[in-house]
Amino acid sequence: MRWIKRGLDARRIEVNASGSLIHIVAEGMLLVSPRIFEACVRERAGEHGGEGAGPAQRTDAAKRLQREVLNAGWHLVDDRGRSVLAYQVARKGQVFSRIWGVVILNPERFVQPLPAVNPLLVRTGERSGAL
């Protein structure tokens, strides 16, 4: 969460835009999975001189990082016990795309000020397509 806060404060991480790693939704802060975890691993590896890690190692590290976030218990779990939830981009009743992610509940614990809710994202009941 510190990495996210630093990225938001420095405006390295964009919120609520097409292709963003983070969206604010009615339920909380949607971390687009697996992309946000992969980005964090890439950036942290670069800070520590580990840019030479191969794709398999980075994918494994991203999965471990997502698991750590889920184990912290800060996220929304749906009625079927799923932690990675689907959202759709909808305008005027039309669905344009879908994204999946982990929704952090009460994100103001970590991010101040909290950006506005993205009115284009609506939660769906689809199965997870992420890590």
Q: How far apart are CA 101 and CA 23, in angstroms?
A: 10
> What is residue 129's predicted lDDT score, i.e. its pLDDT?
47
User: Please, what's the b/e burial string for 70-99 (b: 16 or more CB within 10 A of its CB; e: otherwise)?
Assistant: beeebbbeeeeeebbbbbbbeeeeeeeeeb
Q: Cα Rg for the chain, rounded, in angstroms?
A: 15
Quote the pLDDT of residue 56: 84
Q: What is the pTM of this model?
A: 0.86
Q: What is the pLDDT along the chain (131 residues), one digit of tens a residue?
A: 999 999 999 999 999 998 999 999 999 999 999 999 999 999 887 665 555 567 788 889 999 999 999 999 999 999 999 999 999 988 777 778 899 999 999 999 999 899 999 999 999 876 544 44
